[in-house]
Structures are given as C-alpha cells and as structure tokens.
Chain A
Amino acid sequence: MQTNRKHHISHDPIHDSAIKHVQGISIYIDDMPQFHKELQACPAVSPYAFADIKNIDISEALKAPGVHCIITAKDIPGENQMGPVFHDEVCLADKELLCVGHTYAVVAADTYEQAYLATKLIKLDAIEKEPILTIDQAIAADSRLQPLRVIERGKVDETLAKSKHILKGQFKSGAQEHWYLETQSCIAVPGEELEMMVYSSTQHPSETQAIVSEVLGIPRHEITVETRRLGGAFGGKETSGNHVAAWAAVLARKSGRPVRMRLTRDMDQAITGKRHPFQSDWKIAFDDTGRIEAYHVDMHTDGGMATDLTMAILERGMLHAENAYYIPNIRINGHSWKTNLPSNVAFRGFGQPQGMAVIENAIDAIARYLGKDANEIRRINYYDTKERNIAPYGAEITQNHLLKIEEEILQCSDYLNRKKEIDDFNAHSKFIKKGISLVPVKFGISFTTSFLNQAGALIHIYSDGSIQVNHGGIEMGQGLNTKMIQVAAAELGVSIDRIKLTPTNTSKVPNTSATAASSGSDLNGMAIKDAVDQLKERLMPVAAQILGEEFKCEIAAENIRIENDLVFDQSNKKHSICFSDLASKAYFQQTHLSAAGYYRTPDIWFDRAKGVGKPFHYYAYGMAVCEVEVDTYDGKVKLQRARIIEDAGETINEQIDIGQVLGGFVQGFGWVTSEDIKWNEKGRILNASPDTYKIPGIGDIPVDIEVKLLEKAPNDNTIRRSKAVGEPPFPLAISAWMAIKYAIASLANHKLEPNLKIPATNEEVVLSVRDLEERLK
C-alpha cells in the first residue's frame, strides 16, 4: 500500500506509548520490579479430561526447595467460584476435574522454576471418567450447557417446504488461540488488614476485582485492581485474566506475601479457553435469481467445561446469522454444549464471525448452484434502506452503507476484471489455482447485555494546567488511550501534550465494563466528554471573570472559548489568557477542578426470551476482496492481494483505525487458514505452543494490501461521530477463505460444491481437493 508518511504523521497523533514501545521501556505486569518477599506461582493442572478427585497430596511438594505456600480449594476463604455470569466454574477443582488443564492447586515459591518443579511433586489421586470432547459427542449425550435460544421471524418451515430451490449443509469453524504476546499475568500484593492490591493483565478490572472479592470473601472496597496496559488481549483477557488474579490473591492472602503469577506460553495455551468452535446445520430456500426466501440454521457451539461468556457469544453469532442480508423467513436456533475442554471464551468478533461464516458459505453455494457470480447473489439480498431493512430480531438496520461500499470496493479491487483473469489463469494452470471473493460484514455495536453499556471517567486539572485523564477502559494496543487523550484534548480545547493518561484503576473509576465488544472508545470517550463538559461549565464563569478583570470589561461566560490552549472571549479574541493561567487562577478562586464523567448508551434493549429488541446502538459495515493462490497438490495458500473498505464513521485517528482494520483482518486470516487446534482422544491439546500453532507471519501478508476507511460517513450520536473498529474487520478475512474455496471449486469447473471448513489449512485444502476429485469420478 502506498501511503505518504509525512502526510499521516502530521495529522494523527502517534500511539501514546509508541516511543516507549520501541525502546522496550513500556511496563507490562511482569516488568514491574520485584516486591519485598515476593513469591512466584505456578498452577498444578489436571492431566485428565474428566475425573473424580479422590485426594490431593501436597506434602512432598511443600518440602521442595523454595516452596512457601500451596493452595487447594480448601484454602479459598470465600466462595470457590470464578464464573463471570453463571457461577458454574470453580476457582480450584475440588470434586471433579473437568478438562485437561483444569487447575486444582497452585504453588508459590521463591522462583518460578521452584514452583514449577514442586507442582510435579503433588500427588493427584483421581478416577478417570469418559470425557465428552466434540460437539457431536455432546449432542449424542445431550450435554447441554444452557437451554436453547431462538430468534425467529416469518414462516420458515412453510417456505422451505414450498420453495423451488433448497440447499443444505453443515458448516464447521474451529477453535482459535488468542496468542496475545504477553501471557496472563498478575501480581497480588497484600496490604493492611484485608486490603489487596492486584496488578492484573485483565481487560476487565472491575470483574477481576469482583472475582477476587468473592474468592477472598471480602467486600470489593478492600480490593484495588490496576492495569496500565496489556501486551495484546483480543478477548482472551476478558475473563481468563480473572483466574490468574484469583489464584495469586488467594496465595497472597494465605502466605501474607506478594505473589507474582505469569503463565508460561505453553501453560497459557494449554489451560485457557479459545474461540468457540461452531458447527452449524443450515437450510436455505431461494428463487431463480438467488434471492433468499427462507433460512434455517441450528448453531451448535462448544462452550467447553463451563458457561463463561458462551451465551453472549452464541447470542452474537445468532444476531449476525443473516449478516448483511434481508431474509424474510428465518429461524436461528442456538445450542450451547458442555464438553471436557477448557471453557471457551471471548475472542475478537465474539461469535459474529462464526455466525456470519455460515450464511456467507451458503450464499457461495447458491451462486455455484445457479451458476452465477456470488456477488450478484449478495447484491440482490443486501439489506435495503427503506424496506427490507428490519433485522430478524425486529431492529431497523440503520446507516446502511452496503451499496456505497460495494460500489467503491468493486472499483478499487477491479473485481470483475480480476475475476476474469483468474478464470483464464485457472483454465490453463494444472495445479496452481487462484480464487477471488468479495465478502461484506455488518457488525452490530454494543454489548448485547444492555446494562453493560455504561462507562466512567475521571479528569483532574492541576493548578499548573496539566491534566490527568483516567477512564474505565483498558489499553491493550488498540490505541484506546491515544484516542481518549485526543477526545479529552479536543473537547476541552487544549493540546494533547497537556494530558497524561493514567493506568486504569478500580479506585479511580468503579463498576466498569470490560473493554470489549469494540466499545472502548464509544463508551469511555463519551464519559470523558461528560467530565470535560462539567469542568468547562465550572471554568467558563471563572474565565469570564478573570478576563473581565484583566481587560477591564464585561465578558459573558457563554462567550468564552478554549482552543489550542488559549482561553478567550470569542467576541474579542485579544482578550485571552493561556489555559495554565486559567487553571492556576481558578484554583485560587476555589474552583473544583476534578470531574467524574459518566455515560450510558441510550435506547438499547434486548428481550432474550422472545429474541427481539434493539440490541445495537448502530452497525459498522465493511467489505473485503481477497485474491489467493492455492497449490492444490500441497495445500499451500498464498494471499496475493486484498482490498478492504471499513466504515469507521468519522475516524478519530485514521492510522490507529487502519492498524485495527489490518490487524483484525490478519488475525481473521489466521483463523480461516493456518490456525488449527487439535486435541487427542484423551482431550489433551496438541497445539499448545507456537512450534505447532501457527499464527500468520509477515511472509503471509502480501505487500499488495490496501485498507481504506469509508469517507463521509459520520456516525450519529457517538463520540466525535466515530465508529467502533476493533472487531468488525476480523470477519472480513472470510473473503480469503471464500477465495480459497473458489480456487478449489475451479478444479470441478465450479460445478461441484467443495467441502471445506474453517480453517482451510494445507491439510484441509488437500483433503477437500481429494474429496472433490473423488466426486468428479
């Protein structure tokens, strides 16, 4: 992609930690200096997928060198649980071991190595039971995690029965490991009496505080959780961070010493949850043109051993089952299954990509069946702006930019010409086949659990005019803090250099929601604006008075403006003082220079029982066109070209948003291609380290990749008319997967529908090709 470096440097502030990052002086949890008498901890985890615990003997381990403290369930002073929504996940296994990696004890020693070696001395006596390891096994055993959820509209069965064309199939997408670079980390430091200071790599400090409070059996006001930044999270630290924090806190309480716990990569990959695998059975009815008449889908998701956020993830999958298409008759059944694998957790997209992939694959099948270009089918099914614009759950699809984006991306990707060139290439190439695909994304923004859509901020103006901003969100690389500094500076009218953003801390802003659901900027930005508005309201009369006295005239408070660090009377700009002077003088005039801001998203609701509501504040749209080259002999896939257009509203920081789009897309590209997790028949994960688990590397990403943000698309009623941009780009990578499928289908001249699942690894591609060849015979 060609960009003018000088151009964007001058416009967008750089990431507020970038200069520290490149020197390596940014502080992550495990970079904090050692506390006095600090211990380091290592979990002892189950080797069995499913077993009854008879006895846990820690006597030998306690004698091991350096060991100071070992906890098992009976050492938990409060409640032995750490399920964030449903209380169905114990903090330490006491009766049953529910998966390989289920933690039943934690050892604290002088060094991590000592703690690790001591875990090997714990004698676990357990009786193995037959585990459930796949969705099919769970269905057969009726191992439901939570009751069925349904969203339904129209006459699905009738339409399916009488429709001229019907296709059906089963679609699978696999688990994905977050692979944040910084593994789960926490330092718990006991304070006076019951106090506990918890430095945690969590996306959700308030919940970490709540869980620590519950396991310690003390009120939340005793516990402070602080998080400066995360070395990546992607949903993997929304609830999983709580586990490490809870264990460290219990150890710290029992030993009376600070306890540091950082999971090693292998341990992290083995014991923490993944993206939910989905297995969906679908049926779709359509007319001769390809317009969809009815769609029925049973989504089955593997929740793992506990509920965690599975129901919200499944719900988001269901709420995006139709993706960008109006489907008059639709039924979405959401099944959640309990298996003996670590409880699956949030991961960028939060079920949306899994839900959306099914309909995109079905549309691709329709196109192949009708012998049409898939994009034609997509276009006649897109949500309209005036009619055909109501989602299956009854909400209106607003700010619909689908056709506008489509027009632009067809042009910038040169889709039709490139497709023709690809077809020509395929006609003459024996085993290297190319593919191309356009895939749209419509992504609903808001927590679907409506009450979570609230946030707080705290702003202090010091009497020297410097400003401290704090909010409830977490900086995990996405540039949230940079944007929040920009918001505070723009709303107040001061330069960004004046503002210092401080670590997220539950004693500064309480009762926060997770930094998740792409909501970080939307919610915290508005809360910051609220705080700034309060401060301005207090400062303006003071400024009017000060300016009036200084320039010996009457100045009305409503005429005061603050811009570029200058406070002035807009009717006579010569009457001005600098912001620092205002702060100082306001202080001496006894002005309250601190404000707590608050925001809640208006007008959203969702009735789960009925499957209706307005769960989203707005929608973000995007499209991608990907071109791939597939070696049908060895299954190697090369992404050759990608064009992406993302609707980010009026962007607050274009370069940060583009970074989010590209990063999300590439993470999605990993999900649909190389990131494969296998478990053996005993339920042990086989891909628990980066030598066998392959996220994309730099060589997998072509130079010929371009991201554009949709222009002239201001959002309504959001902070500085921006849009969320964290998750929506992730599922754009489904276009790369669809292009792989196109390349494979070319082997059968697009007459047969390839069987292909997500991820399309080299293995999956070669097996899909073999299957197609057998069917051709």
Chain B
Amino acid sequence: MKSSIDFLYNGFPIHIDFEKEGLSPTTTLLNWARNHGHKEVKEGCAEGDCGACTVVIAKVGSDGKLHYKAVNSCILFLPVLDGKLVISSAGLVPETHNLNELHPVQKAIVEDHATQCGFCTPGFVMSIFALYHTKDHYTDDKINNALAGNLCRCTGYDSIRKATKAALKENIPDFYSENEALILKALKDIKTNTLNIRVGEQKYIRPKLIDEAIVLRGENPDAEIINGSTDVALKQSKHFQKLPVLLDLSGVEQLKFIEQKGNEFHIGAGLDLESIRFKAETVFPALYDILTVFASRQIRNVATMGGSLGSASPIGDLLPLIMAMNGSLVLEGKTGQRTIKAIDYVVDYRKTVLQADEIIHSIILPLPTEGEIVKMYKISKRTDMDISTLSTAFRLKLSDCKIDFISMVYGGMAAMTIHATEAEQFLKGKEWNEENISEAAAILEKTFTPLSDARSGDEFRNIAAGNILKKFYEESKLN
C-alpha cells in the first residue's frame, strides 16, 4: 500500500504525496492543474458536460502500447492518475507562435478558422488529439460522436468538424508517437500499488486486486464506491461536499473484462462503457445504440457499468435494457458471489439490494436470440450528451404475427426503472398490428405518474411513453 501517486504531465514526472502536502485526494485533476499553473485546462461547467477541461490520459495497454483516452479533468480525482500520462493542449508541442510548428490537430483548427473565443478550444484539441492517436476510419457520424462531449458556443461546429477531418487525414508522427518507447519505459517504471490515502478526516482507498477490494469493502462499510466517479465527483466539483471514505475500484484490472459466453455477455463492473460499446457494435446493436448516446466519449472512457448500476438512478440508460433482456448482476462480498436478477436489484428510489460488504462484480446480459427484436429508445432534449427524459427498452418475439413475448421497460417514468406490466399483459398473445398497438399506447399513457421537472412536464412523458411503442411498432415492420 502507498499513499502517494506518480504520473507524467505532458511528459514531466509528477509526484504527489497527499498526506505530506495535506492535499485532499478528491482534488480534481482540473483544480490541481490550474493551481499548478497549467491554465490551458479550462473549467466550463465542473460537471463533465462541456468538455472545456478535456485532457488525454495515456496508459500502457495490455498490448504493451500506449492507449490514449480523452477524459473530463473536472470530475477526475487525482489518485486515478497513478502510473499514467496526462496530456494537455499545452503539451503537444513546445510553446510556439509559428503556425508550422503546431501539432497537426492544432494547425488544422487554426487553418480552418475553427476557434473564435478560444475557451473551448483546448478541450476540442484534446478530443481530436485522442482521435488522432486511434487509427480508425472516421466518418462524420463518428467525429460527431467523439466530439459530442465538447461544447462550443461560437463557431457553430462546422469549421471544427472540417478541421478534425483535415487533421485526421494527416499521418505525421507527433512527439508522443515518436517517443512512445521512452514514455512506455517511464510509465512502466512507476510502481503502482494499492492506494490508501488518509488526509485529515478523509480516506481514499484504491485497491489493485479484487480480493483486496472485498476486504477493504468489508472494513469500510460506509465507503462510497466509485468506479469512474463521473457521478460522485460532482459532489466535490460542484458542491464541495465532504466525501469522508471513498473506495475507488477503478484500479482493479480483474473487473475490466467483457466476454461472450454462449448467448450472454459477461461484463466486468469495472470495464469502461466505451470498450463495451466497441464490443457491442456487431453483436448487440441495441446495446451499441444506447451506449452511443450515453453521455459523451470523455464520460464513457471512464464510466463503468458498475458505476451506472451502483447509482441506481431511475434515469440510468442501461438498466432498462438489462431488465428487458432479463439480465443479472453478480454481487461479491466476503462470503463470496451471488447472482441476482436485474429486476430484483433496485428496490426503491436509488435503493438496491447491495449489502454493505458487497460490490458489483459483473453483469450478465443475455443477447437477443434468433427472431427476437430488441430496441432501446432514449428521449432527450438533445440527442447527444443528454440525460434521458425517458427511455424504453423493448424486447419482442413474434410467432405468426402474434406476440409471443414482449418486454417493455421504462426509465424516467417512476422512482425506479420499471416494466410496463399492464401494457405487456395486454399485448401478450395478441396480434402485432396497429389497432392493438394503439390500445397499448393508450394504456401506456395512463400507466405512469411521472414527475414534471427540468427536462419536461409529465404530460409529455406520458404521451411519449405511448408514442415510443408506436415508433417501435413502425420500425419493427421495417425489420
């Protein structure tokens, strides 16, 4: 165990001994960077919604190479950086006033007039820089998706998209690819270990192994568990709440897996959502689709399924699909593992069956079987980077145009994610036709008593609850 971290910031070694410095371990990377003169990292919202604070984190991947990920530094706690490389817009090239000395990404933005006030620009640069280092073929849609977590209020984006395309066409090695071997060595030289940091009243534990995690969980039943911290970090970044005990599972590599076993995905609670999305693209389109509009690239790069389910939010985008697929959660505590059906996992508003000594180990997600139609719809004010007003997962099995089975799971309509039982029962065995769908939609409009809140009024939620079934029906006809 250790209580200090080591990482590289734009190539320079940084050592932080929290206890010695009296520095809170829940200091965000953004605040640390700005307090240390790295003013290129901007605070636009302090909640991971605007991307002005975007930096890239590179780490040694299982293939022994550097892997680059754009993240929101405003909601990232420092201990996560142990053994990693942080890259900001000021670290791409030595400071210059010469256009030709800029990094290809920076140069493209300048040449395409894709910066106006410039406040969002360092964040955009870093999101595009991450793309530059992932050798992939980028379409407009993929660029849009990668930049959905970066807001710009000046340019109208067209110039930024053009600059991105221009930059991605370049294939010039940059400082980081040229010095990959050196960087890898420097990172491998950092001895990462379980972190156990105590500063004042605050305790921050970050185990490396699952067994350690279970022991530490048992010893700290009051700990708030984080795994990506894209939700919990807001308590610190926006509300300056004291977070007395944190158990950070993001260091446990054993929780970062996804395997297809038969007709099931087994997904480690600690795997980032972007990796799941990547894996789901060809195997499970409904999962891929919902993850595509799940927050932003920066969030998905660190957020995990364990974190999403752990928060048990009634507007979480994953639980409806997991419930519709009749998935399960594997929970692990000091007495071992137990498996619980997703439908039984949440018991009340943000309350789950998770015991004080347990963590979420993994999720078992059955894949659609032959002939099943599975779709998930998310209704939000903005398509990308928005929280659901409501969301619905459908799973349908027809035989001879009759409904063999239908599952309809709604998020955002009640204190927890729920099945639309009445409409499901109404439809079962009936013909899959417009008349029955209209009737079911009418039932759905009266099924829930949702809230009116910042995202919409209850009337819209109710109408949309029915309409979404009609949409599913229309689209199922196209299948």
A residues touching B (Cβ–Cβ < 8 Å)?
A: 1, 3, 5, 8-9, 12, 14-15, 17-28, 31, 113, 116-117, 178-182, 229-234, 264-266, 430-431, 476-479, 631, 633-636, 655-656, 658-659, 662-667, 674, 676, 678, 686-687, 689-692, 694-701, 703, 705, 761-763, 766-767, 770
Contacts and interface: CB of A to CB of B under 8 A. Distances in A.
A26 B118 contact: yes
Contacts of B41: 24
Contact of B470 (A23, A27, A633, A664): A633
B147 A22 contact: no
Given A264-B46, A656-B113, 6 more contacts: A21-B122, A179-B153, A181-B44, A232-B116, A634-B377, A697-B382
B162 interface: yes
A767 B460 contact: yes
A115 to B, nearest CB: 10
Interface string B441-472: 00000000000011111011001100110110
Interface string B238-252: 101000000000000
Among A14, A687, A694, A701, max chain B CB count under 10 A is at: A694
A181 B377 contact: no
A703 B112 contact: no
17 contacts: A22-B102, A28-B42, A431-B474, A633-B468, A635-B460, A635-B464, A636-B383, A666-B155, A666-B156, A689-B49, A690-B47, A691-B49, A698-B148, A699-B384, A700-B382, A701-B158, A766-B460
B389 interface: yes
Name the prevailing secondary structure of the B interface residues: loop
B347 interface: no
Contacts of B468: 633-634
B467 A634 contact: yes
A769 B156 CA distance: 29
B95 interface: yes
A703 B140 contact: yes
A23 B96 contact: yes
A5 B95 CA distance: 25
A5 B111 contact: yes
Interface string B256-291: 000000000000000000000000000000000000
B119 A28 contact: yes
Contact of B145 (A24, A658, A699): A699
A705 B162 CA distance: 12
Interface string B132-172: 00000000100111011011111111111110001000000
B379 interface: yes
Interface stretch (B58-66, B85-93, B359-367): B85-93
A22 B91 CA distance: 11
B304 interface: no
B153 to A, nearest CB: 5
Contacts of A117: 240
Contacts of A636: 379, 383
A662 B155 contact: yes
Among A181, A477, A676, A689, max chain B CB count under 10 A is at: A181
B39 A24 contact: yes
A448 B368 CA distance: 64
Given A24-B88, A179-B153, A666-B157, A678 B382 contact: no
Interface string B362-388: 000000000000000101111111110
A172 to B, nearest CB: 15
B423 interface: no
A346 B383 CA distance: 29
Contact of A232 (B92, B107, B154, B467): B154
Contacts of B148: 697-699
A762 B381 contact: yes
B407 interface: no
A430 B471 CA distance: 10
Given A265-B44, A692-B455, A770-B463, A761 B153 contact: no
A767 B45 contact: no
B90 A23 contact: yes
Interface in B176-204: none
B110 interface: yes
Contacts of B158: 1, 662, 701, 703, 705
Contacts of B115: 15, 17-18, 21-22
B153 A695 contact: yes
B389 A762 contact: yes
B82 interface: no
B116 A766 contact: no
Contacts of B109: 18, 21-22
Nearest to A668: B156
A14 B110 contact: yes
Nearest to B159: A659
Among A116, A231, A635, A666, max chain B CB count under 10 A is at: A231
B40 interface: yes
A232 B460 contact: no
A113 to B, nearest CB: 5
Given A635-B464, A697-B384, A17 B118 contact: yes
Given A431-B471, A656-B113, A21 B118 contact: yes
Among A15, A431, A659, A692, max chain B CB count under 10 A is at: A659
Given A27-B39, A635-B464, A698-B157, A14 B113 contact: yes
Given A264-B46, A674-B382, A633 B118 contact: no
A663 B471 contact: no
B125 interface: yes
Contacts of B143: 698
Contact of A633 (B50, B144, B380, B467): B467
A229 B117 CA distance: 8
Given A22-B125, A181-B42, A231-B118, A662 B454 contact: no
B329 interface: no
A117 B240 CA distance: 8
B417 to A, nearest CB: 19
B116 A477 contact: yes
B52 interface: yes
A350 B353 CA distance: 54
B47 A691 contact: yes
A233 B460 CA distance: 33
A476 B463 contact: no
B47 A655 contact: no
A662 B156 contact: yes
A662 B39 CA distance: 29
A528 to B, nearest CB: 21
Nearest to B161: A698
A481 to B, nearest CB: 12
Contact of B116 (A1, A5, A659): A659
A382 B117 CA distance: 36
A777 to B, nearest CB: 14
Contacts of B116: 15, 232, 477-479, 659, 663
Contacts of A763: 381, 389, 456-457, 460
Contacts of A631: 471
B459 A24 contact: no
B229 interface: no
Closest 4 CB pairs of A and B: A24-B40, A477-B117, A21-B118, A231-B119
A698 B144 contact: yes
Nearest to B92: A23
Among A116, A658, A691, max chain B CB count under 10 A is at: A691
A181 B157 contact: no
A773 to B, nearest CB: 10
B99 interface: yes
Contacts of A27: 39
Contacts of B117: 180-182, 229-233, 476-477
A237 to B, nearest CB: 11
B298 interface: no
Contacts of B459: 767
B120 interface: yes
A181 B52 contact: yes
A556 B150 CA distance: 59
B463 A691 contact: no
